Amino acid sequence: MKNPIVAPSILSADFADMQTGLGRIRDSGADWIHMDVMDGHFVPPISFGAKMVSDVRKRTALPLDVHLMVEEPDKMIPDFAAAGADIITFHAEACIHMHRTIQSIHSLGKAAGISVVPSTPVSAIAEILPFVDLVLVMTVNPGYGGQELLEFCLRKVEALQALRDSLKLGFRISIDGGVSEAALSSIAEARPDVLVIGSAFFEAEDPATFVGTVRDAFGARLVC
Ligand code: DX5
Ligand code: ZN
Protein backbone atom coordinates (compact mmCIF):
# COMPACT_ATOMS: atom_id res chain seq x y z
CA MET A 1 0.00 0.00 0.00
CA LYS A 2 1.27 3.48 -0.88
CA ASN A 3 2.25 6.05 1.73
CA PRO A 4 -0.14 8.95 1.91
CA ILE A 5 1.08 12.19 0.37
CA VAL A 6 1.79 14.57 3.25
CA ALA A 7 1.04 18.21 2.41
CA PRO A 8 1.87 20.72 5.17
CA SER A 9 -0.29 23.82 4.98
CA ILE A 10 1.68 27.04 5.27
CA LEU A 11 -1.41 28.73 6.74
CA SER A 12 0.01 27.63 10.10
CA ALA A 13 3.52 28.94 9.37
CA ASP A 14 4.76 32.36 10.49
CA PHE A 15 3.87 34.62 7.53
CA ALA A 16 6.66 37.00 8.53
CA ASP A 17 9.21 34.17 8.47
CA MET A 18 8.17 31.93 5.63
CA GLN A 19 11.79 30.94 4.98
CA THR A 20 11.84 29.08 8.31
CA GLY A 21 8.48 27.46 7.56
CA LEU A 22 9.70 26.27 4.17
CA GLY A 23 12.88 24.93 5.77
CA ARG A 24 10.76 22.95 8.22
CA ILE A 25 8.81 21.42 5.35
CA ARG A 26 11.99 20.58 3.46
CA ASP A 27 13.60 18.97 6.50
CA SER A 28 10.50 16.92 7.28
CA GLY A 29 10.52 14.99 4.01
CA ALA A 30 6.93 16.06 3.29
CA ASP A 31 5.70 15.62 -0.28
CA TRP A 32 3.69 18.70 -1.27
CA ILE A 33 3.15 22.24 0.02
CA HIS A 34 -0.49 23.18 0.57
CA MET A 35 -1.32 26.87 0.09
CA ASP A 36 -4.65 28.21 1.36
CA VAL A 37 -5.94 31.24 -0.50
CA MET A 38 -8.78 33.02 1.34
CA ASP A 39 -10.55 36.08 -0.03
CA GLY A 40 -12.51 37.32 2.99
CA HIS A 41 -15.79 36.43 1.24
CA PHE A 42 -16.00 32.68 0.68
CA VAL A 43 -14.48 32.42 4.15
CA PRO A 44 -14.08 35.32 6.60
CA PRO A 45 -10.26 35.60 6.71
CA ILE A 46 -7.91 36.89 4.03
CA SER A 47 -4.68 34.91 3.74
CA PHE A 48 -2.48 35.61 0.69
CA GLY A 49 -2.56 35.78 -3.08
CA ALA A 50 -0.56 34.75 -6.12
CA LYS A 51 2.56 36.64 -5.05
CA MET A 52 3.04 34.25 -2.15
CA VAL A 53 2.81 31.33 -4.57
CA SER A 54 5.40 32.82 -6.92
CA ASP A 55 7.76 33.66 -4.04
CA VAL A 56 7.46 30.13 -2.59
CA ARG A 57 7.89 28.69 -6.10
CA LYS A 58 11.37 30.27 -6.29
CA ARG A 59 12.42 28.49 -3.10
CA THR A 60 11.18 24.93 -3.50
CA ALA A 61 10.84 22.22 -6.09
CA LEU A 62 8.00 20.53 -4.17
CA PRO A 63 4.59 20.48 -5.85
CA LEU A 64 2.47 23.48 -4.83
CA ASP A 65 -1.08 22.46 -3.98
CA VAL A 66 -3.12 25.66 -4.13
CA HIS A 67 -6.52 25.60 -2.41
CA LEU A 68 -8.71 28.50 -3.51
CA MET A 69 -11.26 29.34 -0.83
CA VAL A 70 -12.57 32.22 -2.90
CA GLU A 71 -15.92 33.31 -4.30
CA GLU A 72 -14.77 33.88 -7.86
CA PRO A 73 -12.15 31.26 -8.71
CA ASP A 74 -12.39 31.80 -12.48
CA LYS A 75 -11.02 35.31 -12.15
CA MET A 76 -7.99 34.18 -10.15
CA ILE A 77 -6.96 30.89 -11.74
CA PRO A 78 -4.72 32.39 -14.49
CA ASP A 79 -2.70 34.35 -11.91
CA PHE A 80 -2.13 31.28 -9.74
CA ALA A 81 -1.16 29.21 -12.77
CA ALA A 82 1.35 31.88 -13.84
CA ALA A 83 2.69 32.04 -10.28
CA GLY A 84 3.73 28.39 -10.44
CA ALA A 85 0.94 26.40 -8.80
CA ASP A 86 0.99 22.71 -9.76
CA ILE A 87 -2.49 21.80 -8.56
CA ILE A 88 -5.32 24.34 -8.45
CA THR A 89 -8.33 23.36 -6.36
CA PHE A 90 -11.54 25.38 -6.24
CA HIS A 91 -14.77 24.94 -4.31
CA ALA A 92 -17.89 23.36 -5.77
CA GLU A 93 -19.92 25.79 -3.63
CA ALA A 94 -18.31 28.76 -5.40
CA CYS A 95 -18.75 27.58 -8.95
CA ILE A 96 -21.76 27.00 -11.19
CA HIS A 97 -19.89 25.81 -14.29
CA MET A 98 -17.43 23.42 -12.67
CA HIS A 99 -16.66 21.54 -15.86
CA ARG A 100 -15.65 24.75 -17.62
CA THR A 101 -13.46 25.79 -14.71
CA ILE A 102 -11.71 22.41 -14.75
CA GLN A 103 -11.13 22.80 -18.48
CA SER A 104 -9.61 26.22 -17.96
CA ILE A 105 -7.20 24.89 -15.29
CA HIS A 106 -6.17 22.07 -17.63
CA SER A 107 -5.72 24.49 -20.53
CA LEU A 108 -3.14 26.30 -18.38
CA GLY A 109 -1.23 23.04 -17.96
CA LYS A 110 -2.16 22.50 -14.31
CA ALA A 111 -3.81 19.68 -12.38
CA ALA A 112 -7.40 20.48 -11.34
CA GLY A 113 -8.95 19.80 -7.96
CA ILE A 114 -12.50 20.21 -6.69
CA SER A 115 -13.27 20.72 -3.02
CA VAL A 116 -16.41 20.29 -0.93
CA VAL A 117 -17.14 21.81 2.49
CA PRO A 118 -18.52 19.51 5.20
CA SER A 119 -22.18 20.23 4.38
CA THR A 120 -21.83 19.49 0.64
CA PRO A 121 -22.48 15.88 -0.37
CA VAL A 122 -20.35 13.89 -2.80
CA SER A 123 -23.36 13.76 -5.13
CA ALA A 124 -22.86 17.49 -5.84
CA ILE A 125 -19.63 16.69 -7.72
CA ALA A 126 -20.44 13.22 -9.07
CA GLU A 127 -20.80 14.33 -12.69
CA ILE A 128 -17.43 16.01 -12.87
CA LEU A 129 -15.35 13.30 -11.17
CA PRO A 130 -14.16 11.93 -14.54
CA PHE A 131 -12.49 15.28 -15.25
CA VAL A 132 -10.65 16.07 -12.01
CA ASP A 133 -7.20 15.10 -10.79
CA LEU A 134 -7.95 15.65 -7.10
CA VAL A 135 -10.94 15.81 -4.78
CA LEU A 136 -10.26 17.75 -1.60
CA VAL A 137 -12.68 16.76 1.16
CA MET A 138 -12.82 19.49 3.79
CA THR A 139 -12.85 17.83 7.20
CA VAL A 140 -13.45 21.13 9.03
CA ASN A 141 -15.51 24.16 8.08
CA PRO A 142 -12.99 26.11 6.01
CA GLY A 143 -11.30 29.33 7.01
CA TYR A 144 -9.18 28.52 10.03
CA GLY A 145 -6.40 26.17 11.06
CA GLY A 146 -6.38 24.37 14.37
CA GLN A 147 -9.95 23.03 14.40
CA GLU A 148 -11.03 19.52 15.29
CA LEU A 149 -11.66 17.00 12.49
CA LEU A 150 -15.34 16.37 11.73
CA GLU A 151 -15.48 12.57 11.64
CA PHE A 152 -18.63 12.42 9.52
CA CYS A 153 -16.69 13.89 6.59
CA LEU A 154 -14.50 10.78 6.40
CA ARG A 155 -17.48 8.87 5.04
CA LYS A 156 -17.13 10.98 1.91
CA VAL A 157 -13.65 9.54 1.39
CA GLU A 158 -15.15 6.08 1.32
CA ALA A 159 -17.95 7.18 -1.03
CA LEU A 160 -15.40 8.71 -3.38
CA GLN A 161 -13.24 5.58 -3.35
CA ALA A 162 -16.29 3.51 -4.31
CA LEU A 163 -17.11 5.87 -7.20
CA ARG A 164 -13.49 5.93 -8.30
CA ASP A 165 -13.39 2.13 -8.40
CA SER A 166 -16.72 1.66 -10.12
CA LEU A 167 -16.04 4.36 -12.73
CA LYS A 168 -12.37 3.29 -13.12
CA LEU A 169 -11.06 6.80 -12.48
CA GLY A 170 -7.69 7.97 -11.18
CA PHE A 171 -8.28 11.12 -9.13
CA ARG A 172 -6.60 11.47 -5.75
CA ILE A 173 -8.62 12.01 -2.59
CA SER A 174 -7.29 14.57 -0.13
CA ILE A 175 -8.54 15.51 3.32
CA ASP A 176 -8.02 18.97 4.77
CA GLY A 177 -8.61 20.12 8.31
CA GLY A 178 -8.10 18.72 11.78
CA VAL A 179 -5.49 16.11 10.82
CA SER A 180 -3.75 15.47 14.13
CA GLU A 181 -2.07 12.55 15.86
CA ALA A 182 -5.25 12.03 17.88
CA ALA A 183 -7.31 11.59 14.71
CA LEU A 184 -4.78 9.43 12.85
CA SER A 185 -6.32 6.03 13.50
CA SER A 186 -9.73 6.95 12.07
CA ILE A 187 -8.04 8.77 9.19
CA ALA A 188 -5.88 5.72 8.41
CA GLU A 189 -9.04 3.63 8.36
CA ALA A 190 -10.53 5.87 5.65
CA ARG A 191 -7.27 5.84 3.65
CA PRO A 192 -7.26 9.18 1.83
CA ASP A 193 -4.38 9.60 -0.65
CA VAL A 194 -3.33 13.07 0.54
CA LEU A 195 -3.27 14.55 4.04
CA VAL A 196 -3.19 18.33 4.38
CA ILE A 197 -1.75 19.19 7.78
CA GLY A 198 -1.46 22.69 9.20
CA SER A 199 -1.24 23.24 12.93
CA ALA A 200 -0.24 19.68 13.89
CA PHE A 201 2.72 19.86 11.49
CA PHE A 202 3.91 23.30 12.53
CA GLU A 203 3.45 22.63 16.24
CA ALA A 204 5.24 19.26 16.19
CA GLU A 205 8.53 19.21 18.06
CA ASP A 206 10.37 17.49 15.23
CA PRO A 207 8.75 17.69 11.77
CA ALA A 208 10.53 14.61 10.33
CA THR A 209 9.44 12.48 13.29
CA PHE A 210 5.91 13.80 12.90
CA VAL A 211 5.77 12.90 9.19
CA GLY A 212 7.15 9.47 10.07
CA THR A 213 4.39 9.00 12.66
CA VAL A 214 1.77 9.90 10.08
CA ARG A 215 3.19 7.46 7.54
CA ASP A 216 3.49 4.74 10.19
CA ALA A 217 -0.18 5.13 11.09
CA PHE A 218 -1.02 4.16 7.53
CA GLY A 219 1.60 1.41 7.38
CA ALA A 220 0.47 -0.06 10.70
CA ARG A 221 -2.87 -0.86 9.14
CA LEU A 222 -1.14 -3.30 6.80
CA VAL A 223 0.01 -5.61 9.57
CA CYS A 224 -3.31 -5.58 11.38
C1 DX5 B 1 -8.66 25.42 6.48
C2 DX5 B 1 -7.57 25.20 5.45
C3 DX5 B 1 -6.62 24.16 5.86
C4 DX5 B 1 -5.86 24.46 7.14
C5 DX5 B 1 -5.76 23.17 7.90
O6 DX5 B 1 -9.68 26.18 5.96
O7 DX5 B 1 -8.11 24.82 4.20
O8 DX5 B 1 -5.72 23.82 4.82
O9 DX5 B 1 -4.58 24.98 6.92
O10 DX5 B 1 -5.24 23.43 9.16
P11 DX5 B 1 -5.29 22.35 10.33
O12 DX5 B 1 -4.50 21.16 9.88
O13 DX5 B 1 -4.67 23.08 11.48
O14 DX5 B 1 -6.73 22.01 10.56
ZN1 ZN C 1 -6.65 23.98 2.62
We report the CATH number of the domain holding residue 116 as: 3.20.20.70
**Residue 91 CB less than 6 A away from ligand 1:** no
Ligand having the closest approach to the CA of 195: 1
| For residues 127-155, average pLDDT | 98
**Environment class of 36 (CB within 10 Å of its CB; exposed 0-12, middle 13-18, buried 19+):** buried
State residue 190's pLDDT score.
Answer: 97
Strand ranges for 59-109 from DSSP E:
64-69, 87-91
84-98, 143-157, 186-200, 208-222: the lowest-pLDDT one:
208-222
Q: Number of C-alpha atoms within 13 angstroms, CB side, residue 26?
A: 10
176 is catalytic: yes
Neighbours of 215 (CB within 10 A): 15
Distance 220 CA to ligand 2 centre (A): 26
pLDDT reading at 223 higher than 60: no
Band (221; pLDDT cuts 50, 70, 90): very low
- Cα-Cα end-to-end distance for the chain: 13
* Bridge pairing between strands 87-91 and 194-197: unpaired
Range of the domain at 132: 5-223
pTM for the structure as a whole: 0.97
Of all ligands present, the nearest one to the C-alpha of 140 is: 1
What separation in Å is there between the alpha carbon of 221 and the centre of ligand 2? 26
Domain count, the chain: 1
Catalytic residue among 31, 36, 39, 65: 36
